């Protein structure tokens, strides 16, 4: 199974304007206006050109964090850099539209795949590219779809202009079952969380070794996390916590601190086994984490597994490389979270310094992999090291069976919890 090699990118300051060879006049235009002007100049050269629309604005809210979108844009820019004669437009809603030579469509498809694998657990990336306007990628051969794309861009120009000039209170709002989280609502929520009893929102799940079909699960780590759904139900009913990616990032970052405080109390209160916690890279550089280490390292040395999500890793690669060696020197182990079969081969676990990676079980992932694709998945698992992979979200016996067949021995999910419960009742 071939895999796109996703390389870390160096993030640069960004403005919502078009890229590549902009003249002084078009540089003063919005990206939407510059794109419309560019299409108008290509009217007589339709057969030679095509366009690709990357609809990042349609990703799920949790994937539209500003840092994640920057990684996606920089990754795409790096992939199309060798293509001559094209222009990339970064729109106000963070969508990307690239217009270039039609003969380069294969290379452009490969560049799009670099972005797709970043968000492969988002439902948008599972849609066929030709499912109208509900897929991640929209392809427009200008010889046949010039007028269609031109109408879309004209609408974008009007909407962007209207959004820039209307007062915030007059801008149309999307109908949502929950109210969006704005700065005022976030401030209220932050104050509430300062005194809220997060202990009731903490969830536990075991990571177990299961080497044989009949073998009992052997707990290796206990993952501890604060459930976002539980938090919303108890302290923010009716509030859409994902509506603003910046505020959601700040919220989850603050929850890291509350989780660390909770663990500090728990470790003082009772003996505790090896733990697994998911933290932001920014948290690992914070004074709160240093204080946590000072209090728990003597008891937890060599028994703390720190999980870092793949998108957070790519958004904060330089910071991660800065802190990684210190974490390892303190005896902590590291796990790269959020991988699927398509991205397992995109990250070199050993080179990055991770002890484990988490591979997501999904109904449309390993379970439905074509038989001819499974040998490729198996070879990637062998290259990574089957004993270093945790197959998570295992909610069925099928997940455990296929995982073991592929050489995986560490599992996490409801089926694992069910088996642990059966063992406890014997």
Buried b (16+ CB within 10 A) or exposed e, 179-201: eebeeebbeebeeebeebebeeb
Does residue 338 carry a pLDDT above 80? yes
Q: How confident is the model at residue 130 (pLDDT cuts 50, 70, 90)?
A: low
Summarize the confidence of residues 111-120 as an average pLDDT.
Answer: 87
- Residue 372: the pLDDT is 56
**How far is residue 295 from each of residues 204, 220, 257, 301, measured CA to CA in Å?**
21, 23, 14, 11
Mean pLDDT of the chain: 81
**How far apart are the C-alpha atoms of 359 and 388, rounded to whole Å?**
10
User: How confident is the model over 161-199, as pLDDT tens digits?
Assistant: 776 655 444 444 443 457 778 888 888 888 888 888 888
**How far is residue 207 from each of residues 202, 218, 219, 267, 274, measured CA to CA in Å?**
16, 8, 6, 19, 10
**How far apart are the C-alpha atoms of 173 and 132, rounded to whole Å?**
24
User: How confident is the model over 316-334, as pLDDT tens digits?
Assistant: 999 999 999 999 998 899 9
**How far apart are the C-alpha atoms of 358 and 333, rounded to whole Å?**
13
Return all residues near 411 (Cβ < 8 A) that are at least 6 apart. 207, 208, 209, 210, 217, 390, 391, 392, 394, 399, 400, 403
Q: Are strands 218-226 and 202-209 parallel, antiparallel or unpaired?
A: antiparallel
- Residue 308: the pLDDT is 95
Does residue 15 carry a pLDDT above 70? no
Contact 345, 316 (CB under 8 A): no
**How far apart are the C-alpha atoms of 14 and 316, rounded to whole Å?**
16
**How far apart are the C-alpha atoms of 374 and 368, rounded to whole Å?**
10
User: How confident is the model over 49-77, as pLDDT tens digits?
Assistant: 999 999 998 998 778 877 788 888 988 99
Summarize the confidence of residues 4-21 as an average pLDDT.
Answer: 41
Q: How confident is the model at residue 129 (pLDDT cuts 50, 70, 90)?
A: low
- Residue 356: the pLDDT is 97
Q: How confident is the model at residue 421 (pLDDT cuts 50, 70, 90)?
A: confident
Residue 101, classed as helix, strand or coil, is strand
User: How confident is the model over 206-232, as pLDDT tens digits?
Assistant: 999 997 777 789 999 999 998 887 888
Return all residues near 152 (Cβ < 8 A) that are at least 6 apart. 53
- Residue 399: the pLDDT is 86
- Residue indicated by tokens 């009893």: 197
Which has more pLDDT, 374 or 321? 321
Does residue 363 carry a pLDDT above 60? no
User: How confident is the model over 246-301, as pLDDT tens digits?
Assistant: 677 788 888 899 899 888 888 888 777 899 999 999 999 999 999 998 887 667 77
**How far apart are the C-alpha atoms of 362 and 359, rounded to whole Å?**
10
- Residue 374: the pLDDT is 67
Does residue 354 carry a pLDDT above 60? yes
Summarize the confidence of residues 395-413 as an average pLDDT.
Answer: 89
- Residue 12: the pLDDT is 41
């Amino acid at each position: 199974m071939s895999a796109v090699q996703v390389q870390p990118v160096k993030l640069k300051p960004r403005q919502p304007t078009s890229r590549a060879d902009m003249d002084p006049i078009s540089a003063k235009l919005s990206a939407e206006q510059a794109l419309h002007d560019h299409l108008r100049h290509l009217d007589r050269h339709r057969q030679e050109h095509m366009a690709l629309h990357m609809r990042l604005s349609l990703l799920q809210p949790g994937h539209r964090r500003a840092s994640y979108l920057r990684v996606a844009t920089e990754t795409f820019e790096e992939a199309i850099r060798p293509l001559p004669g094209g222009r990339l437009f970064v729109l106000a809603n963070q969508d990307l539209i690239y217009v270039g030579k039609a003969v380069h469509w294969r290379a452009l498809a490969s560049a799009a795949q670099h972005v797709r694998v970043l968000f492969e657990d988002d439902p948008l990336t599972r849609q066929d590219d030709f499912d109208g306007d509900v897929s991640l990628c929209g392809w427009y051969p200008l010889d046949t779809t010039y007028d269609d794309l031109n109408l879309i861009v004209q609408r974008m120009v009007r909407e962007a202009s209207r959004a820039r000039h209307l007062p915030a209170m007059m801008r149309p709002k999307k109908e949502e079952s929950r109210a969006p989280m704005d700065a005022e609502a976030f401030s209220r929520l932050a104050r509430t969380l300062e005194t809220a009893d997060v202990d009731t929102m903490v969830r536990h799940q075991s990571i177990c070794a299961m080497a044989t079909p009949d073998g009992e699960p052997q707990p290796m780590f206990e993952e501890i996390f604060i459930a976002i759904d539980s938090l919303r139900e108890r302290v923010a009913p009716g509030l859409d916590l994902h509506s603003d990616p910046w505020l959601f990032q700040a919220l989850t970052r603050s929850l890291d601190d509350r989780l660390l405080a909770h663990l500090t109390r728990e470790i003082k209160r009772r003996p505790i086994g090896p733990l697994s916690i998911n933290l932001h890279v920014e948290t690992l550089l914070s004074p709160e984490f240093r204080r946590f280490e000072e209090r728990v390292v003597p008891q937890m040395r060599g028994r703390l597994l720190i999980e870092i999500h793949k998108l957070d890793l790519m958004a904060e690669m330089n910071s991660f490389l800065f802190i990684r060696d210190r974490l390892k020197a303190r005896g902590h182990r590291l796990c790269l979270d959020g991988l699927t079969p398509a991205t397992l081969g995109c990250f070199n676990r050993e080179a990055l310094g991770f002890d484990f990676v988490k591979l997501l079980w999904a109904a449309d992932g390993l379970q439905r992999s074509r038989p001819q694709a499974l040998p490729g998945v198996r070879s990637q698992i062998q290259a990574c090291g089957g004993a270093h992979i945790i197959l998570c979200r295992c909610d069925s016996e099928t997940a455990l069976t296929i995982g073991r067949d592929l050489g995986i021995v560490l599992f996490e999910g409801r089926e694992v919890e069910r088996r642990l419960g059966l063992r406890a009742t014997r």
